[in-house]
Every structure is written in structure tokens, then in C-alpha cells.
Structure 1
């Protein structure tokens, strides 16, 4: 894998979107990618927890996660949320879970459920069709039928693009000149998911987002 070439391709793509690049922004080290099972389990958890942001009973989501043997894959923050109720959840908790939509969209790409993960575009209205619908009592099969995930190089290349896009977005923010193709929250959440996939030693609650 040629990380220098990947860097150049990412920079070219960002310039093509009207963005700016930083020549000295380094490349990522090579890490050990997570397994297909790990990625599918995280996607199932996130898909379930998103429902809490839309007022689903917390205990119902906790039961779904337990029934599908996903408890061991929960993060510390997720365990704390599942120990609460809709009445005790903070507004920030719900906001954080709502942003899971963008992270999950990135995982759908990693699992090969979608073909593109384009920086300028938010999730589409039909995202729900790709995911198990808990409110319709659908099982986990839309995710568990995944036999393999994208290669390390594919995910590394996409994460590199989002890494450099984040630097670009921060530059626009510092100058108070927002750009329609660079949404910080969207970029952060997708980069978070991609980085987690690429490093099996990472902690979902504390994914580095430095540039």
C-alpha cells in the first residue's frame, strides 16, 4: 500500500470539491483492522441505539441488544445510556445518538451495503431501507448476512480523505468562511467510524480526531 499516493489522491479529491489541503499533514500509521464480526456487531448496536434518539423506550433497546448477544460489544458510554430511561437521558445524549446516523452510514459503506461515501453529501432519506427496522420487529439479517468487509487499503484510503477533509473544514471555520461541501459534524462522525474499523485497539468513546 502506497500511503503517499493515497495522500495525493485525497488532496486532489478535496481540491476538486473546492477545498484546501495541507502539504505537511502526515499519513496514518498502519494498524490492525477489525474483523467483519466486530464491524457488524458495532453496526447493529448503533442502528439499535439510534432509535433511542427518536424516543424509543431505552429498556426495549437494551433487550434487543441482549437478545442478539451484543452486550460485550457495547462501549462504556453506551452502557451508561442503556442503564437510564427516556426520562433521565440528557438532551446531549440524544444528540450524540442522533449523530450515530452518519457513523452508521460509514459502516454501511465498509460492509459493502452502499457504493459511495461522498464527503459533500449527508445520509439519504432512504437510509432506513438498508438497516434492520426495529419498529417493524425486523431481525438483524440485513447486517448479519455480511460475509466480508472492504479491504484495509479501501478503508484506509477513505479515512485518509475524511482526515484531510477535516483539516480543510477546520481551516474554513477558523476563517469564518463555511463551505457547503465540508460539514464538520458529518466529517467527524464518518471519520470516527472509519478509524475505529482500522484499529482494533481503539476505543469507540475516544477516537482521536486530531489534524
Structure 2
């Protein structure tokens, strides 16, 4: 694709390594550069975001029958993973604790997709989702349809998205290494980084399915 010609992963690695180190996030030199991206189209990304927005409502105590109907009415069923289908088959309080935790963390992916779509400019390694997110998305509790949001969803610069993924990949190594060695840094939050990186990986690599994305460092 034409936009891939403008993205040089080796150069992005060098630029981000320098940037991160200058901001107190140390990364190793031999951490490889990422593969050349093959971006998903905006409609696919917006639909994945809408599915996750809907599933997250379960954490907010929305009845699963209402969420399931909203997904069906907005023709999003094909974007459900097998795990998400399982979430909708049981009441939220009856789901295993780990499933409930996974659903809670969906909000980080939704926030990241909103950044990818240019809806905000506050994607960090260490600060949580802002309340403004609610104003950026359809209000499922009011049964607002997803169609308009999906049609209007546009990607910010692909180079900017790829550079952000590369930053999160390298910051992920730093956060994980701190976790393994018992070190602490207020510049990174491992859980936040992992969830946001997953959404960036999904966007940049069309060949990855949501439930099979590797977060290796």
C-alpha cells in the first residue's frame, strides 16, 4: 500500500528509543523494530470499538439481553469473538472473575480506538481513561445506533499510529522489566500499556484477530 512506503520501522525505532530515554523510560538497544504495518480499514476498527463499547456496558450492569440486541440491531454480531459470545450467554455476575476483569479492561481499548480515530489526543503510558470518553461514543443506554459513528470514523495519520504502537511496544518492555525486577516507575503502568497496545496492534496489522494478538516484547 502507498502509505507503507512512508513508514520505515527502523527509523521509527531509533526515533522512539531516543524519545523514550529522554523521558526516563529506558529501553534496550536490541529490542527489534516492528514489522511493516498492514492497516485495517476504518470501518473494521470502528466496528471492533463498538463491540467493545457494548460489551463494556456489562461491567456497568447493563442487562446482557439489551446488549446482545443492540449488537444484533447494529449488525455487529460478526465482529464478536468466541469469548465475547460467551459473555453474552450468562449474566455478568455469574461470569468467572477473570472474565469480569477482562471486560473491565475493555475501556482502555475503547479509549485507544478513540485516539486512533482522532477523537482525543491524550494517549499515555500511565494515566487512566477520562470521563470525556462518554461524549465521544453512541449512548447505548439510550439505544443510539452505531451507524453514524462508524461512517464518520476516520484514522489519524497512519505514521502517527504506527509510531505510537512502537512507543507502546518499547515502553511495554520497560514496564514488564520493572515488574520482573521489582523496580517501580511512575512513568508507566503495565496494565494500561498492555490494553492500549493491543488496540494499536489490531489497528496496524490486519492479519491479527482480536483474540489472538501477541503482546510479546
TM-score range, shorter chain: over 0.9
Pair 1:96-2:102 in alignment = yes
SS in 2 for 1:166: helix
Which position in structure 1 is the counterpart of 2:132?
Answer: 126
Distance apart, 1:145 and its partner CA: 4.3
Give 5+ residue unaligned stretches, structure 2.
Answer: 1-6
Task: Write the distance in 1 (CA, Å) between the matches of 2:27 and 2:35.
Answer: 19
Give 5+ residue unaligned stretches, structure 1.
Answer: none
Which position in structure 1 is the counterpart of 2:9?
Answer: 3
Pair 1:192-2:195 in alignment = no
TM-score for both structures, normalised by structure 1: 0.93
Q: How many residues are matched?
A: 211
Which position in structure 1 is the counterpart of 2:25?
Answer: 19
Deviations 1:19-62 (A, max 9, x none): 11110000111242111110110111111110111221111111
Deviations 1:133-172 (A, max 9, x none): 2123333266324252123322211100000000000121
2:120 maps to which of 95, 114, 121? 114
Which position in structure 1 is the counterpart of 2:4?
Answer: none
State the Cα RMSD in Å: 1.6
* Larger mean Cα displacement after TM superposition, 138-147 or 75-84: 138-147
Task: Write the distance in 2 (CA, Å) between the matches of 1:74 and 1:99.
Answer: 16
2:66 maps to which of 60, 67, 72? 60
Task: Write the distance in 2 (CA, Å) between the matches of 1:165 and 1:51.
Answer: 29
SS in 2 for 1:120: coil
Distance apart, 1:93 and its partner CA: 1.2
